[in-house]
A and B are shown apart, each in its own frame.
Chain A
Amino acid sequence: MAIIEVNDLYKIFGPNPKRAIPLTKQGMTKAEILKRTGCTVAINDATFSIEKQETFVVMGLSGSGKSTFIRCLNRLIPPTQGDILVDGENVATMDAERLRELRRYKMSMVFQHFGLLPHRNVLGNVEFGLEISGMEKSQRREKAQRAIELVGLDGYEESRTSELSGGMQQRVGLARALANDPEILLMDEAFSALDPLIRTQLQDELLELQAKMHKTVVFITHDLDEALKLGDRIAILGPDGRVRQIGTPEEILSRPADEYVKAFVQNVDRTKVITAGSAGGHVPSIIYPRDGVEAAIRVMERNNYSTVFVTDASRVLKGLITIDDAVSLRKAERQGAGKENIATILHDNVYTTLATTSISDLLTAAIKTNYPIAIVDEEGVFHGAVSRAAIIAEVSKSSDNSAVPVQLREINGSDHSREDE
């Protein structure tokens, strides 16, 4: 269900901004409109909806209006035209009282440069939002304390924020936003001011928190890798303030909507985004002890596989059988050695992975093993497999062709062919 719906949103800065809207509809560029009217188009006809509990990333380069966009959502910047419906209520037209309530109870914001109050300690900063909404002291202390623990800042309650590192300061910002338990979390380039190591760490922590809390997160970034890592869906803003494409990370990578998005995603390391689940897929398996060696051979022959996975009745992975072992087992059976159990030929040295693991993390395993890698969930239930060939194919797809090594013979061979002509 959509929690935020944005319809035909425009934000134009400058004198008499409404005048510029018809010009954008005529397809004039940002520069032309600026020259003609003195107005800057920041958001140009944005329409989309954000689902409950999803992480929606708005990604664009500087000047694409992404910071303006997120500020329209809680009306720190009033939109020029268009509707922003939060749970069906229009933020663009609500009165000041209602707007304050929305900001106090429903939406909290995390800022790029933290926006912390330098005269307050960590606890004082975290309880700021609760204090503003008029919560009494003991109650807000308790809630602030819980938020502080959530982001791993316990023990720093009395520290001055200026004594903390950037990463810690942003944790304070995050705790402040989480303290009043909002449904929606607005994060404006929240990790952009941090150094790369800390940034990765906070991204991971956000993912962890999100797995627990299921907030609706609107995350603004200029970093595509960050967008791909965090986003359930991503909206890409062009330099003209227009939304170019909205989709899941994989959709954006594999089917870029236009040249701009394509140029954007070209340099992305695909192997970090393509997951085991998407590169692999469902494969037939047999159930032990119900199925015997005949069933195993039949499955392999029909699918032209040299191996088959074996699960128990509740589909928990037991191991894998190869065609060679199965055939020799059948031979032994026919020579009168009696009914053999396939458990004797079951290999349990199979690599397993979660569906969400990225291809780049599977590469080492793919090189070490001769078998496909099984995809299981946390309970060990078998969901499919990804073959070594698929992993290597994905890796080679994402490598830059100009740098691919070429065999010496191929170079010489091409010389010969020229002589032959």
Chain B
Amino acid sequence: MNFREIVNIGGAFESVIDWLVDNMSWFFKGISTAISALLDGTTAALNFPPWFVMAIALTALAWWVAGRGVAIFTALGFFIIWYMGLWTLTMSTLGLVIASVIIALLIGIPVGIWASKKNVVWNVVRPVLDFMQTLPAFVYLIPAVLFFRLGPVPGVVATLIFSLPPAVRLTNLGIRQVPKEIKEAARSFGSTSRQILFKAELPVALATIMAGVNQTIMLALSMVVIAGMIGAGGLGNEVLRGITQLRIDLGFEGGIAIVILAIFLDRVTQALGNIAQKKR
């Protein structure tokens, strides 16, 4: 019997997971139901209008937020996606991204605020974030599958865990960077902690927080593709099919659609961040 068998790190992790699967299934079932509902909602909303209506709407959004150049790119890009016959898959990928990002921000921003207020919290949260970001993305897939089976729900779970860290980090950073005198000024006029947060800190930190949102979205998009391996659906499936069947054409088309979606999301969210910055 060697040492490796006595202290078995991987084995210990496995037994923890086993225990969770055996005893906490009600918990995971609840989460699963909630995520499914959110996901169905977003995907249905994206697929409800005919493709050209949706494409026009997204182009209008790009124009309004990011200007003419991005709008032209958006119109052209979404036309190509439709032309390649990937419209529905792209929308379900976008749905996965939106659902994951909503949950990631709902968790990440409050945690970031909390961490910015209490050094203890930040000292605990930081190594967890490091762990989440450096662990290879594929590794998330295994427990996600064990807890949530196959399908889009574990895809969302793996994605939100992978994309959560920048939202926490940049919210924390943004609030910590608010000049001391602004916080003092808010306090000196008799603000409660809540008033300081909502009337001074969050608005001043908004640009930094938006940079975090942008990164979260980009990470989510990259993870959603990987999540195709566990049946999350969308463009990930297409790329995976290209790899497994050695179909270069399928893989390339799927890849192009992902790139177009990525550039659209990046430019639009960055422009939102710039608007927040300019308001200062």
Partners in one complex: yes
Is the CB–CB distance between B190 and A132 below 8 Å?
yes
Q: Which residue of A lies closest to B184 (CB)?
A: A76
Query: Taking the complex as formed, is A74 at the interface, i.e. its CB lies under 8 A from any CB of chain B?
Result: yes
Query: Taking the complex as formed, is B203 at the interface, i.e. its CB lies under 8 A from any CB of chain A?
Result: yes
Is the CB–CB distance between A131 and B187 below 8 Å?
no
Q: How far is the CB of B276 from chain A (nearest CB, A)?
A: 8
Query: Taking the complex as formed, is B189 at the interface, i.e. its CB lies under 8 A from any CB of chain A?
Result: yes
Residues from chain B with Cβ under 8 Å of A99 in the complex: 190
Is the CB–CB distance between B179 and A115 below 8 Å?
yes
Is the CB–CB distance between A76 and B190 below 8 Å?
no
Is the CB–CB distance between B181 and A114 below 8 Å?
yes
Query: Taking the complex as formed, is A111 at the interface, i.e. its CB lies under 8 A from any CB of chain B?
Result: yes
A104 to B195, CA, bound (A): 13
Is the CB–CB distance between B199 and A115 below 8 Å?
no
A133 to B182, CA, bound (A): 17
Report if A118-B190 is in contact (Cβ < 8 Å); known contacts: A113-B181, A162-B280.
Answer: no
A109 to B206, CA, bound (A): 26
Is the CB–CB distance between B189 and A103 below 8 Å?
yes
Is the CB–CB distance between A131 and B185 below 8 Å?
no
A99 to B193, CA, bound (A): 13
B250-280 to A contact mask, C-beta < 8 Å, 1/0? 0000000000000000000000000000011
Number of A-B contacts (CB under 8 A): 74
B184-206 to A contact mask, C-beta < 8 Å, 1/0? 11111111100100011001101
Residues from chain A with Cβ under 8 Å of B188 in the complex: 74, 76, 103, 107-109, 186
Residues from chain B with Cβ under 8 Å of A180 in the complex: 189
Q: How far is the CB of A206 from chain B (nearest CB, A)?
A: 19
Residues from chain A with Cβ under 8 Å of B191 in the complex: 100, 132
- From B182, B190, B200, B279, contact of A100 by CB (8 A): B190
Residues from chain A with Cβ under 8 Å of B190 in the complex: 99-105, 129, 132-133
Is the CB–CB distance between A129 and B189 below 8 Å?
yes
A129 to B187, CA, bound (A): 10
Is the CB–CB distance between A115 and B185 below 8 Å?
yes
Residues from chain A with Cβ under 8 Å of B184 in the complex: 71, 76, 109, 111, 115
A133 to B192, CA, bound (A): 10
A112 to B200, CA, bound (A): 18
Query: Taking the complex as formed, is A117 at the interface, i.e. its CB lies under 8 A from any CB of chain B?
Result: yes
Q: Which residue of A lies closest to B278 (CB)?
A: A160
- From A111, A112, A119, contact of B203 by CB (8 A): A119
Report if A119-B206 is in contact (Cβ < 8 Å); known contacts: A103-B189, A132-B195.
Answer: yes
Q: How far is the CB of A370 from chain B (nearest CB, A)?
A: 56
Interface class of chain B by DSSP:
helix
Residues from chain A with Cβ under 8 Å of B186 in the complex: 117, 128, 132
Number of interface residues, chain B, beta carbon within 8 A = 20
B168-192 to A contact mask, C-beta < 8 Å, 1/0? 0000000000010110111111111
Residues from chain B with Cβ under 8 Å of A107 in the complex: 188
- From B181, B189, B199, contact of A108 by CB (8 A): B189
Q: How far is the CB of A99 from chain B (nearest CB, A)?
A: 8
**Among B186, B189, B190, B199: residue with most chain A CB under 10 A:** B189
Is the CB–CB distance between B189 and A118 below 8 Å?
no
Q: How far is the CB of B59 from chain A (nearest CB, A)?
A: 29
Q: Which residue of A lies closest to B180 (CB)?
A: A115
Q: Which residue of B lies closest to A71 (CB)?
A: B184
* A73-121 interface (Cβ within 8 A of B): 74, 76, 99-105, 107-109, 111-120
A112 to B192, CA, bound (A): 23
A147-182 to B contact mask, C-beta < 8 Å, 1/0? 000000000000010100000000000001000100
A272 to B192, CA, bound (A): 45
Is the CB–CB distance between A111 and B181 below 8 Å?
yes
Q: How far is the CB of B138 from chain A (nearest CB, A)?
A: 42
Residues from chain A with Cβ under 8 Å of B206 in the complex: 119
A102 to B204, CA, bound (A): 26
Is the CB–CB distance between B204 and A118 below 8 Å?
yes
Is the CB–CB distance between B185 and A111 below 8 Å?
yes
Q: How far is the CB of A294 from chain B (nearest CB, A)?
A: 68
Q: How far is the CB of B200 from chain A (nearest CB, A)?
A: 6
Report if A113-B189 is in contact (Cβ < 8 Å); known contacts: A118-B204, A119-B206, A128-B199.
Answer: no
Q: Which residue of B lies closest to A119 (CB)?
A: B203
Q: Which residue of B lies closest to A103 (CB)?
A: B190
A330 to B20, CA, bound (A): 121
Q: Which residue of A lies closest to B279 (CB)?
A: A119
Sample of 29 A–B contacts (CB below 8 Å):
A76-B184, A100-B191, A100-B192, A102-B190, A103-B189, A104-B189, A104-B190, A105-B190, A109-B184, A109-B185, A109-B189, A111-B181, A111-B184, A113-B181, A115-B181, A115-B182, A115-B184, A117-B185, A117-B199, A117-B200, A117-B203, A118-B280, A128-B186, A128-B189, A132-B190, A132-B199, A133-B189, A162-B280, A176-B189
The 6 A-B pairs with the shortest beta carbon distances in the complex, nearest first, are A115-B185, A104-B190, A103-B190, A118-B280, A115-B181, A129-B189
Chain B residues proximal to chain A, CB less than 8 Å? 179, 181-182, 184-192, 195, 199-200, 203-204, 206, 279-280
* 13 additional A-B residue pairs with CB within 8 Å, beyond A109-B188, A129-B190, A180-B189: A71-B184, A103-B190, A109-B185, A109-B189, A112-B181, A115-B181, A116-B185, A118-B204, A118-B280, A119-B280, A120-B203, A131-B199, A162-B280
